[in-house]
Amino acid sequence: MPELPEVERARALIEERALGREIVAVDDADTYVCRPHVPGELSDALVGSQFTSAHRRGKTMWVATDRGPVLGLHLGMAGKIVIGDAEAGEPKPDGPVLHPVWDRFTVEFADGSALILRDKRRLGRAVLDPIIDHLGPDAAEVTRKAFRERVGHGAAPLKARIMDQSVIAGVGNLLADEALWQARLSPLRPAGELDDTELDRLRNAIRAATRSAMRKGGVHTGELIPHRTRDGHCPRCGSPMSRATVGGRTTYWCPTDQT
Ligand SMILES: [Zn+2]
């Protein structure tokens, strides 16, 4: 499932390859992915304009245009952004498309390239002028002061607190387990019990895990991730991993050194 690092890679791809090109066609026929818009609404808003900048907060991404409308893109559970380029022999809307059934939303440019939301599970979104007010600061960029204030209170288990997108945005299930393990903090601790030293350690661990995942290609590359199995052992001390549902998600942690 895409978490902050995967979405940042998608944002960077759009920034690198989809800005400054005239939009000549938009396939917005998938009324579920493009809800609440009706077919043609996204097309009417975007055709004739150019994307000017690509932004992200947490797992939400949006692309600004030179004429005003903003295109929000969300990767959902399994979506990815593909930039098709005729010259590179990659798929484009009117050419050989590798996964036509999975291409839920397509923006075609005058030079023959295209931006595609490819999503096997159809849980991604394309929406005009997305609302991002409900999101907390980005988990990779939140300041130490804001992190202490936002994360460090309440009775909710620590893992649920850092996955609450209104508290900080971008931490999903795998990134949460990895960062808590790196910071040696139990996912079950009430968030309000942490002192400033522990909160700073957690913030650093989230940032480090995010940077590492961006560099290595995704959250699945985390050091703990291969050991998140029923018979898994802590790669640091060898203890059998504990497993429980925390904040509605399957959680693994080391009962010996995560306290
Ligand atoms: Zn351990």
Q: pLDDT of 182-196, one tens digit each?
A: 999 999 999 999 999
Q: What is the pLDDT of residue 122?
A: 87
Judged against a pLDDT cut of 70, whether residue 85 lies above it is answered with no
Average pLDDT score, the chain: 92
For ligand 1, the distance from its centroid to the CA atom of residue 36, given in whole angstroms, is: 47
Ion ligand 1: protein residues whose beta carbon lies under 5 Å: 234, 236-237, 239, 254, 256-257
For ligand 1, the distance from its centroid to the CA atom of residue 233, given in whole angstroms, is: 8
Binning pLDDT at 50, 70 and 90, where does residue 244 land?
A: very high
For ligand 1, the distance from its centroid to the CA atom of residue 23, given in whole angstroms, is: 52
> pLDDT digits over 30-72, tens only?
999 999 999 999 999 999 999 999 999 999 999 999 999 999 9
For ligand 1, the distance from its centroid to the CA atom of residue 203, given in whole angstroms, is: 20
The structure's pTM equals 0.85
| Mean pLDDT (whole number) for 185-210 | 97
β-bridge partners, 253: 242
Q: What is the pLDDT of residue 87?
A: 46
For ligand 1, the distance from its centroid to the CA atom of residue 199, given in whole angstroms, is: 20
Are 28 and 41 spatial neighbours (Cβ–Cβ below 8 Å)? yes
Judged against a pLDDT cut of 50, whether residue 161 lies above it is answered with yes
For ligand 1, the distance from its centroid to the CA atom of residue 218, given in whole angstroms, is: 23
**177 vs 94: which has the higher pLDDT:** 177
DSSP-assigned states of every residue in the chain: ---HHHHHHHHHHHHHHSTT-BEEEEE---TTTTTTSPTTHHHHHHTT-BEEEEEEETTEEEEEETTS-EEEEE-TTTEEEEEE-TTTT---TTS--S-GGGEEEEEEETTS-EEEEEETT---EEEES---TT--SBTTT--HHHHHHHHS-SSSBHHHHHH-TTTSBS--HHHHHHHHHHTT--TTSBGGG--HHHHHHHHHHHHHHHHHHHHHTSGGGSSSGGG-STT-B-TTT-PBPEEEEETTEEEEE-TTT--
Judged against a pLDDT cut of 60, whether residue 117 lies above it is answered with yes
For ligand 1, the distance from its centroid to the CA atom of residue 221, given in whole angstroms, is: 18
For ligand 1, the distance from its centroid to the CA atom of residue 258, given in whole angstroms, is: 7
